Structure formats: C-alpha cells, structure tokens
Amino acid sequence: MTEWLLNALATGGVPILAVITCLSCLAMPVPASLMMLGAGALAVSGDLSLPGAMAGAFLGAVLGDQLGYRIGHAGGRWLDNRLRDGTKPALAFTRAQAMLRKRGAGAVFLSRWLLSPLGPYVNFAAGSARLPWPRFTLWAAAGEVIWVATYVSLGYFFATRITMLAQISQALVGLLAAVAVMVVAGLWLRQALRRARRAGDRDASTS
C-alpha cells in the first residue's frame, strides 16, 4: 500500500498529499508522515513545489482536524459507547480524553506533532468534551504547522544531501580513476626508463 501511495503522490501531486493528511487526522491507517517525507524528496527533483507540498499537507491536516472535532461534537456519546472494548483505538481514545482533561488545549497542540498517534482521538475527544472551537482550531493549526514543516523539510533536506553525496561520489570516482591512470602511467614510464638504462649499460660494456 505504501509503495502504491508514493507512486500516487508522484503522479497526483499535492491533492493526494492533502487527502492523505486529512485521512490520517481521522484515525485512518495511512502513512501520512512517510508521504510528507516523500513530498519533500519530490520537491528536490522538481516534481513537486516545496511551498505547495507544505500548503497541501497543512490544509489537508486542518480539514481532518475540523472533521474529527465535528464528529466528536455530534457523536460524542456514540464514541464513548463504541470505544470501550479494550482495542487499540479504544485505549487511544481513553488516553486522549485523559490528556485533554489534564492539559486542555495544550493536548491539542502536542498531539499534532509530539504525540501524533493520539492526534485523531484528541480531535474526537475535544469535540465530545465541547472544547471551545476557536481554541481547538488555533492550537490544532499551530501544531500542524510544526508537524508538516518538520516532515516535509526532513524529506527535502535528506534528499538534497543524497543528491550531493551522489555528485561527490561521482567526482571521487572520476578522481580515483584519474589517479589510477597516473599511477599506471608512472609505473610504465619507470619500467621503460629502467629498460633504456640497462640497454645503455650493455652497449657501453660491449664497446
């Protein structure tokens, strides 16, 4: 699936990235962080615009956060009843509720990037707990800026370094080849001079 999504990113561009980050904020099992790394790498090759990739990922994440908040706001009681079965999503939702009670809007901010696996469940919990929408939106957007900028920039940075290393390695290969040719030529010249000197010594001894 991951390989297919990366191929889709290369062909579909920023809209695909926006859809992926949106779905990830709704607890869908999609590799959003990996896709943002890939988007940064594609920006190095010119297949994507770096600002466009960041903007698309950010807008998709913000939309996903808003949808998650609205789902929690409208179906909080259903979520409470549904996510009580001891599964991983249920445990994540319980942790998100506890974190939200303890930290308030700070939980929204931290769960965008530092504790990102809890992010979707904090969205649901924030809506269910009726956290004021302006506070939720402000802190969610601030956290998404860090999340998106970090992963897209890392993809761009490492892809740039890989390109630089490839260029350096090519230059080193060329340099080593030139040195090898010089060494071989030097050895050949040395042997030729020795043979010429020996031939000269033999001629001198016979005369």
Residue stretches of the chain with pLDDT short of 50? none
Can you give the pLDDT at residue 174? 67
Query: Domain range spanning residue 131?
Result: 2-162
Q: Express each pLDDT in 88-126 by its tens digit.
A: 999 999 999 999 999 999 999 999 999 999 999 999 999
- How far from 123 is each of 10, 54, 56, CA to CA, in Å? 30, 21, 20
Can you give the pLDDT at residue 172? 63
135 lies in some domain: yes
Can you give the pLDDT at residue 153? 93
Can you give the pLDDT at residue 160? 79
157 lies in some domain: yes
Can you give the pLDDT at residue 52? 97
Can you give the pLDDT at residue 200? 67
168 lies in some domain: no
C-alpha to C-alpha distance for 203 and 73, rounded to whole angstroms:
106
- How far from 81 is each of 75, 86, 101, 187, CA to CA, in Å? 10, 12, 19, 84
150 lies in some domain: yes
Domain count, the chain: 1
7 lies in some domain: yes
- Evaluate if pTM is beyond 0.85: no
Quote the radius of gyration of the chain (alpha carbons, Å).
30
68 lies in some domain: yes
Tally Cβ neighbours within 10 Å of residue 60.
25
Identity at 171, one-letter amino acid code: A
Can you give the pLDDT at residue 142? 97
178 lies in some domain: no
Phi, psi of 110 (to 5 degrees): -70, -30
